[in-house]
Amino acid sequence: MVSIKDIARKAGVSISTVSYALNGNPKVTPETSARIRAIAKEMNYIPNGAARQLKKRESRIIGAFLTDFTGAFYGDLLQGMKEVLNRKGYDLIVCSGLQSHRLLPERMIDGAIILDSAFSDEELLDYADRGHRLVVLDRELNHPAVNQVLLDNKAGANLAMDYLIETGHRRLYIVAGPSDSFDARQRMGAVRQTLDRHPELEATVLEGDFNQGSGEAAGRLILEQWQGPAGVFCLNDEMAIGLFNAVSASDSGIRVGEELSLVGFDNIALTRYIQPRLATIEYSKYRWGAMASEQLLRMIAGEEVEHERIYVSLVESGSVKDRR
């Protein structure tokens, strides 16, 4: 491995001169600088990251922590993070799993974006206390070193519920999400508020875990105890797709967009592949990721930042029938 020491020897100068030349310090004359650069290139020199990091106390690497790697879901989100970071000379690495948590306290990364329920609040607060900068996308956490960029889940759930109610649905089913998901809890909270305001509605809450399987199960359950036209709000699109499949595959004759109206949440790519297209709650995942990166870089730069919110909107579609 070739180091600045080797270059210094070959160039007949000291290592500090090499360091200056390579880092563009104007103290060194253009001639020596050029000569040193030429030699460095010729020797295929590449600086050692660990050494520089040890000295400069920064790696210019940001870590994004996800619960798992599955899913079309994360593509745009990560792309948004990456583009902002790259523009500022930072790199993004994506991590998953308990083992990788070490990267943060060991200071291999300059900050982290968290969308991973495998982190406990305590763990994150501990890191924050150590001076690490964090942006959380999946929880509320108040600490000067932690910034929140959260989805406006309540507004989304309200949009979905109002859509079903305003199109004349009185019998409703809600397919819930896992209790360890912040988004699921927030969406469910808004649903319950809406239901409280509308005692005339006949509503049933079914369990769900944000995966397709639970949507299918919910779909079968609804068909079994079918009592006539109904509206279903699945707290995410995955489950809505599962429910759609279960209903379509049944021999009940009941069809989504006719007797059964269906709304999801997230606007994943799959929503376009079912007939009729799935009504859902939409937001820019790219923007979510980009915002997270921006906030993190601001914190690293020492700026004060406020929590941010990602706004959502309703995508109307044929999966909801107007019964008025």
Partner DNA sequence: TTGTATGCGTTATCAC
Partner DNA sequence: GTGATAACGCATACAA
In the complex, which residues of this chain contact a copy of itself (CB under 8 A)?
Answer: 1, 44, 46-51, 53-54, 59, 61, 63, 68-72, 74-76, 78-79, 82, 86, 91-97, 99-100, 102-103, 105-108, 126, 130-131, 241, 245, 270, 273-274
- Residue 295's closest CA among 125, 113, 76? 113
Binding-site partner at residue 218 among a copy of itself, DNA, none, CB < 5 to 8 Å by type: none
Closest approach, Cβ 115 to a copy of itself, in A, equals 13
In the bound state with DNA, the residue whose beta carbon lies nearer, of 7 and 274, is 7
Closest approach, Cβ 245 to a copy of itself, in A, equals 8
In the bound state with a copy of itself, the residue whose beta carbon lies nearer, of 127 and 163, is 127
Closest approach, Cβ 201 to DNA, in A, equals 59
Closest approach, Cβ 25 to DNA, in A, equals 7
Q: Which H or E element spans position 135?
A: strand 133-136
CB contact at 8 A, 58 and 90: no
Binding-site partner at residue 108 among a copy of itself, DNA, none, CB < 5 to 8 Å by type: a copy of itself
In the bound state with DNA, the residue whose beta carbon lies nearer, of 47 and 75, is 47
Measured CA to CA in angstroms, residue 115 lies from 50, 182, 250, 307, 318 at distances of: 27, 10, 36, 16, 32
Binding-site partner at residue 70 among a copy of itself, DNA, none, CB < 5 to 8 Å by type: a copy of itself
Binding-site partner at residue 226 among a copy of itself, DNA, none, CB < 5 to 8 Å by type: none
- 141 Cβ contact partners less than 8 Å away, ≥ 6 residues apart: 121, 124, 125, 128, 134, 148
Residue 231 burial by CB count (10 A; 0-12/13-18/19+): exposed, middle or buried?
buried
Closest approach, Cβ 165 to DNA, in A, equals 59
Binding-site partner at residue 317 among DNA, a copy of itself, none, CB < 5 to 8 Å by type: none
In the bound state with a copy of itself, the residue whose beta carbon lies nearer, of 143 and 171, is 143
In the bound state with DNA, the residue whose beta carbon lies nearer, of 22 and 270, is 22
Binding-site partner at residue 29 among a copy of itself, DNA, none, CB < 5 to 8 Å by type: DNA
CA atoms within 13 A on the CB side of 302: 0
Closest approach, Cβ 59 to DNA, in A, equals 12
Binding-site partner at residue 91 among a copy of itself, DNA, none, CB < 5 to 8 Å by type: a copy of itself
In the bound state with a copy of itself, the residue whose beta carbon lies nearer, of 95 and 314, is 95
Measured CA to CA in angstroms, residue 172 lies from 104, 195, 204, 206, 235 at distances of: 45, 10, 6, 11, 13
3-class SS of residue 46: coil
Positions touching DNA (CB under 7 A) are 1, 3-5, 12-17, 19-20, 22-23, 27-29, 31-33, 45-48, 51-52, 54-56
CA 278 – CA 272 distance, rounded (Å): 7
Reported in sequence order, the residue ranges of 23-82 that DSSP labels E, i.e. its strands, are 61-66
CA 205 – CA 8 distance, rounded (Å): 72
Cβ count near 106 (within 10 Å): 8
CA 175 – CA 204 distance, rounded (Å): 9
Residue 291 burial by CB count (10 A; 0-12/13-18/19+): exposed, middle or buried?
buried
In the bound state with DNA, the residue whose beta carbon lies nearer, of 4 and 312, is 4
